[in-house]
């Protein structure tokens, strides 16, 4: 009985842990996947709060990203070309979009 | 009776001397003859640089490779340098430490005023910030003056540029913006930020309606 309850507690803890970072703060944007056949890839999450800590609003708005849901056609090609996230996420200002860094945006 | 040994040591030494003399005479005459000959195949090996008679001596010096290659210091041992990654800042953990407002969200105004965060004004390190405008605008509903709201330009201009709101969201004219709570909840006026990135309108009443109990 004791063992079972301990296991349950650990399972609950493990299930709740990922929630700690995802969508915990107001303003985190989850980009729902639109491309058919890519449902296996977790959606990209833009943590607004973490960016607010480092840059003022007007650094991105509206020169880089428009303050309207769906108004920014963000693709990986655009990021590689240095648009949207790619303005900073190029390996100089911030981490680059590489195969090692997928999970930093595409989080479960 | 054995035959008498004619080759006595004295005669033997004389024979040797004679043989050496004959050999010397043959060699020297051969040298003389070949030296006088117009061209000798055998002696040209000894006098390689000497031109045939009648030709001038070579003026160009003969450049020869050094007998052994010049000394080269050994190559330094190959050391593969691994670039150490800068320690990653755990922004999520830093965010947890920021002060919270009554509803539980991050109190960004306090965090900024207490200098817990220092957001940069631009990507360029030399980027200059827009000036902070210290102007409080009172918004008094005509029929419900008790629900007076106050808009502080100061905390907004600390992080926003004028062009973020004016004139697309708010016209810069008194009375030109018919702000209502319904419109804010629908995402107009204060709505684009409040409830999405900035504090929620539903839980932050006294932050605008200063007369309401905190």
Residue A12 domain-assigned (yes or no): no
Show the domain range for A62. 23-105
pLDDT at B42: 65
Distance from C-alpha of B116 to C-alpha of B99, rounded to nearest angstrom: 9
Domain assignment present for A15: no
Does residue A48 sit at the B interface (CB-CB below 8 Å)?
Answer: yes
Number of Cβ atoms within 10 Å of the Cβ of B190: 21
The answer to whether the beta carbons of residues B205 and B212 sit under 8 Å apart is yes
Averaged over B128-157, what is the pLDDT? 92
Confidence class of residue A50 from pLDDT cuts 50, 70 and 90?
very high
**How many beta-carbon pairs under 8 angstroms link A with B?**
72
A14 assigned to some structural domain: no
This complex has an ipTM of: 0.72
Please give the Cα distance from B163 to B172 (Å, whole number). 11
Q: Cβ A93–B123 below 8 Å, yes or no? A: yes
Does residue A56 belong to the interface with chain B, where contact is any CB pair within 8 Å?
yes
Residue A16 lies in a domain: no
Residue A70 pLDDT grade (very low, low, confident, very high; cuts 50, 70, 90) = confident
Q: What percent of chain B has pLDDT over 70?
A: 88
The yes-or-no verdict on residue A13 having pLDDT over 50 is: no
pLDDT at B104: 87
> CATH number of the domain that A55 lies in?
3.90.10.10
Least confident of A5-9, A59-63, B10-14, B60-64: A5-9
**Tens-place pLDDT, residues A16-44:** 444 444 444 678 899 888 888 888 889 99
Domains and CATH numbers, chain B: 95-208 (3.90.10.10)
> What total number of domains does chain A contain?
1
Q: Tell me if A1 is assigned to some domain.
A: no
> Cβ neighbours of residue A22 under 8 Å, at least 6 residues apart?
A28, A45, A107, A108
Name the more confident of B178 and B7. Answer: B178
SS3 for A18-67 is HHHCCCCCCCCEEECCCCCCCCCCCCEEECHHHHHCCECHHHHCCCCCCC
- What's chain B's Rg over C-alpha atoms? 55
d(C-alpha A28, C-alpha A24), whole Å: 8
B192 touches chain A (CB under 8 A): yes
Q: Is B162's pLDDT higher than 90?
A: yes
**Residue A62 within a domain:** yes
- Tell whether the model's pLDDT for residue A86 goes beyond 90: yes
Tell me what pLDDT residue B37 has.
72
Rounded to a whole number, what is the distance in Å from the CA of B197 to chain A's nearest CA?
A: 4
| Tens digits of residue pLDDT in B90-124 | 888 999 999 998 888 899 999 999 999 999 999 99
Q: Where are the beta strands (DSSP E) in B50-205?
A: 136-139, 149-152
Task: Check: CB of residue B177 under 8 Å from CB of residue B170.
Answer: yes
Q: What is the mean pLDDT of residues B63-85?
A: 85
pLDDT band of residue B206 (cuts 50, 70, 90) is very high
Q: Is A4 within a domain?
A: no
Q: Does A80 reside within a domain?
A: yes
What does pLDDT average to over chain B? 86
Nearest residue of chain A to residue B100 (CA atoms): A25
In B104-123, the residues whose Cβ lies within 8 Å of chain A are 105-106, 108, 117, 119-123
Contacts of A49 in chain B (CB under 8 A): 95, 106
For B7-64, the pLDDT digits (tens) are 677 788 889 999 999 999 999 998 888 777 766 666 667 766 666 677 776 667 778 8
* pLDDT (mean) for B118-143: 91
- pLDDT at residue A12, rounded to an integer: 45
């Amino acid at each position: 009985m004791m063992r079972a309850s301990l296991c349950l507690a650990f399972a609950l803890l493990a299930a709740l842990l990922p929630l700690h970072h995802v969508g915990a703060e107001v303003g985190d944007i989850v980009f729902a996947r639109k491309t058919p056949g890519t449902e296996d890839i977790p959606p990209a999450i833009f943590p607004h709060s973490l960016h607010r800590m480092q840059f003022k609003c007007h650094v991105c708005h509206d020169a880089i990203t428009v303050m309207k849901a769906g108004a920014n056609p963000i693709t990986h090609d655009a990021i590689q070309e240095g648009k949207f996230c790619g303005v900073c996420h190029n390996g100089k200002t911030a981490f680059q979009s590489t195969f090692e860094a997928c999970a930093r945006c595409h989080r479960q | 009776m054995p035959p008498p040994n004619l080759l006595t040591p004295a005669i033997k030494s004389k024979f040797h001397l004679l043989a050496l003399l004959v050999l010397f005479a043959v060699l020297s005459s051969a040298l003389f003859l070949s030296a006088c000959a117009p061209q000798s195949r055998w002696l040209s090996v000894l006098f390689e640089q000497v031109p045939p008679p009648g030709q001038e001596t070579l003026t160009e010096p003969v450049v020869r490779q050094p007998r052994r290659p010049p000394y080269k210091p050994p190559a330094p041992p190959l050391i593969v340098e691994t670039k150490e990654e800068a320690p990653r800042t755990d922004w999520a953990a830093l965010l947890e430490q920021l002060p919270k407002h009554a509803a539980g969200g991050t109190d960004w105004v306090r965090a900024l005023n207490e200098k817990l965060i220092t957001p940069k004004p631009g990507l360029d390190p030399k980027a200059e910030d827009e000036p902070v405008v210290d102007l409080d605008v009172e918004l008094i509903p005509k029929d419900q003056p008790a629900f007076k709201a106050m808009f502080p330009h100061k905390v907004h201009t600390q992080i926003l540029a004028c062009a973020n709101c004016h004139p697309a969201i708010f016209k810069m004219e008194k009375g030109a913006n018919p702000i209502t709570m319904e419109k804010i909840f629908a995402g107009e006026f204060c709505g684009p930020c409040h409830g999405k990135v900035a504090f929620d309108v539903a839980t932050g009443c006294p932050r605008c309606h200063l007369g309401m109990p905190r």
